[in-house]
Structure 1
């Protein structure tokens, strides 16, 4: 340029940036950083400056962007940070944003956040056993239904409480237009198939209300549901007629992909209890929190339960318990997990599963648990079995 090229006689030189995230201001800031020891980066600028620093290979500026992203991840920034981390090879930021989504997708499920989550990202979130599911698995299906509606109707605007009713009105109209074809088998719906395939249907259609909603929505093909109904019928028969304590062979790799996810919340450091009941005609599990201890108790069969409960005197389940506290921006400020354990309890027997004494707990605390109680055919050689927590 300075030794006689055509730019020598030009008043203005137009540069074509290889990245659409790079703008004039970011280029000015990035070049200016060469003359300063540090610079102040606002969260609203961090992606454009990161893109520019990546193009110019300014490693120190990239690291400054990383630090800003770590401190400012929130519902408003998490998706843009995640996509930028993928584009510019920031694996630690990508993992951080994914963990934020796993912790908050079911607790900060705003319209704005749902709009920003791509198909590939939603598939990864829904597939993870670390997804914090508030309530039971049916909540995952409800959230996915709203997300899909917003992807198909990006101009929708309304109150948060109107989103689900409007979603439930829109899909029946689409079903009538497609002559009753399940939505995921229509031209519009096929793109969403990989995401809905991550649903753990076995833990959704186990009660009448949820099963009715699934059929009324008519989103999911019948071919997906029939094998699940078959297994739900055979499971109780195996439990009662073979008198075995399922699961017999459970492996961590199998449990992570097939466990039931459910959760609750401890609002304050006060004694409380709740029930995760009717494990497919297996048992009625009472969860107790008292004096900074979490205890599981197998409820006696003569207590009221809205699901069928096995008459077997001893029950067996594999589980993992996870606790977390989140700040206002959804970042974890307390986290404690157990390993995967095999649990065996008799009627009204209790077992301490987590001791929180001497822990710097911050309330409210989310309590999430993964359970595997269903018998699955076949063995999986080469995988490590679970350690046993208790067996009588």
Structure 2
């Protein structure tokens, strides 16, 4: 027995040592808890981990006070002390919350009869305000955040302005600026002008300057007029757009005139429905029919139908249309513009040509930004994808044959005299000066700027066949299609004027 007991005791010790060895080597998992722990067992850290988990806070979202107030007081109307009636609907509200509104604060604090009334009928003089807008505006008094749908922002803005809620008015303005598009720009501009949101008007105007020519749209052209959906006055929108040197022109000034012709046709024929590619042909046919069937000999802008469009056509920069033979012939054929407009421009351009040829007018040398803004040549080009491009804008440019190149993310100007053929006369003067501004832009599907760059107003002197790098682009900022818009001034303004002569009108002003 003693020998057997000794053997059993030895076997037990061996088994325990084997288990401990297995635990130390990672075997048997957590079964080692049932055995004698050693200093090498990884399971020793588990109690510490459990303690750490117990000390870790758990985040559970509770119903906020704001949501409770909105649900209980506004939606349920509990403990209401005043009832507002408007547009056939009632709201059980609270004076203490309504006093956040300047409209109600004045009503309750003054000697108005409504200050002691329990039920207040609210007159709604603004047709833009509906019950849904009032629901949002009243609800905004009971919560610290409001979600505004871009399609509903005009109605909410109207209600916010009536109730004098400055914070909500500002939020409506930000919503409008973030959602300007071809479908909203006219409505937003019109509403911003009514309710005094100058920053929204400016944003809409910037959008129109960028997109009116680059992304022509039939519905937009219909809206931009007296007979449009929003009844926007032509003088309020179209005139400053056509006058601006910031208008993104594609391709040359003749395209501005063509766009206005299409726009005028749509204003006088609002039922026209067709693709944008067919619009110009139908506008030309319509003008021709008026001339032949009605026997109209006087310019269209002198007729009763055409007179309202005169202020807008005045700002077309005709001096850059008559410098191209085909374009000049179209002006004569259309007979839209009064002859004296064209006569003054032809005279001005004739003297400019004589100065260049005989009086050594080498171009602008002094900074005259005001003159540049009012009368510079506007032109543009669309680069559909990355690659190598080289082009010139057509027309007689007083012997200054300017080549524009885009390659390897560089935009380069080159004064061409001998290296490449040119359809017109080329100046061989040693140096020529020009004023210019070049802008690049790309847009998303809504017409919003994705990226843009500008050189600003610059003066440049080029020798024969000299090249000049105008802009070096960062590839990370490039997005195609890329729109290139340029403003140029090739001749010095008013060099033929005597010191005692009266101030002449520029081509843009001569038609006004």
Q: Normalising by structure 2, what TM-score? A: 0.69
SS of residue paired to 1:276:
coil
Give the corresponding residue for 2:165: 58
| Greater alpha carbon shift after TM alignment, 99-108 vs 341-350 | 341-350
Aligned to 2:297: 180
- Match of residue 125 from structure 1: 241
Q: Which residue of the partner structure matches residue 347 of structure 1?
A: 464
Equivalent position to 1:231, from 323, 348, 357? 348
Secondary structure of the residue that 1:188 maps to in structure 2?
coil
Find 1:334's aligned residue among 441, 445, 451: 451
Separation in structure 2 between the aligned mates of residue 156 and residue 267 of structure 1, nearest angstrom: 30
What's 1:294 paired with?
411
> What is the rounded CA distance, in whole Å, between the counterparts of 1:51 and 1:115 in structure 2?
25
d(CA) in 2 for partners of 1:152, 1:294: 42
> Any conservation in 2 of the 1:278–1:308 contact (CA below 8 Å)?
no
SS of alignment partner, residue 329 of structure 1 = coil
What residue in structure 1 maps to residue 26 of structure 2? none
Query: For 1:262 and 1:38, how far apart are their aligned partners in 2?
Result: 46
Q: Which runs of 5+ in 2 are unaligned?
A: 1-81, 84-112, 226-233, 500-512
Taking the aligned partners of 2:171 and 2:410, their CA distance within structure 1 comes to 41
1:368 aligns to what? 485
What is aligned with 1:155?
A: 271
8 Å CA contact 1:232–1:280 kept in 2: the answer is no
Q: Which of structures 1 and 2 has the bigger CA Rg?
A: 2
Offset, 1:198: 0.7
Q: C-alpha deviations, 1:102-156, integer Å up to 9, x for none?
A: 0000122111000111312000111110000011000000100011111111111
Of 271, 277, 294, the residue aligned with 2:388 is 271
The alpha-carbon deviation at position 10 of structure 1 amounts to: 12
Is the alpha carbon distance of 1:62 and 1:366 closer, same or farther for their aligned partners in structure 2, counting shifts above 3 Å?
same
Answer yes or no: is 1:321 the counterpart of 2:438. yes
Match of 2:209 in 1: 102
Q: Distance in 2 between matches of 1:162 and 1:359?
A: 38
Superposed counterparts of 1:71-220, under 5 Å: 71-118=178-225, 119-120=234-235, 121-176=237-292, 177=294, 179-220=296-337
Distance 1:10 1:215, change over 3 A: farther
1:303 Cα deviation after fit = 3.1
8 Å contact kept, 1:278–1:306: no
Between 1 and 2, higher relative CO (CA 8 Å, sep ≥ 6) is seen in: 1
Shift of 1:158: 1.9
Aligned-residue offset at 1:71: 2.2
> Is the 2:261–2:283 contact (alpha carbons within 8 Å) kept by the matching residues of 1?
yes
Which moved further from structure 2: 235-244 or 13-22?
Answer: 13-22
Deviation sequence 1:23-53 (CA, Å, 0-9, x none): 2221222112222222222111110111111
- CA drift of 1:312 comes to 2.5
Matched, 1:305 2:422: yes
Shift of 1:249: 4.6
Change (3 A) 1:216 1:250: farther
2:137 to 30, 45, 56: 30
Residue aligning to 2:10? none
Give the number of equivalent residue pairs: 379
Aligned to 1:281: 398
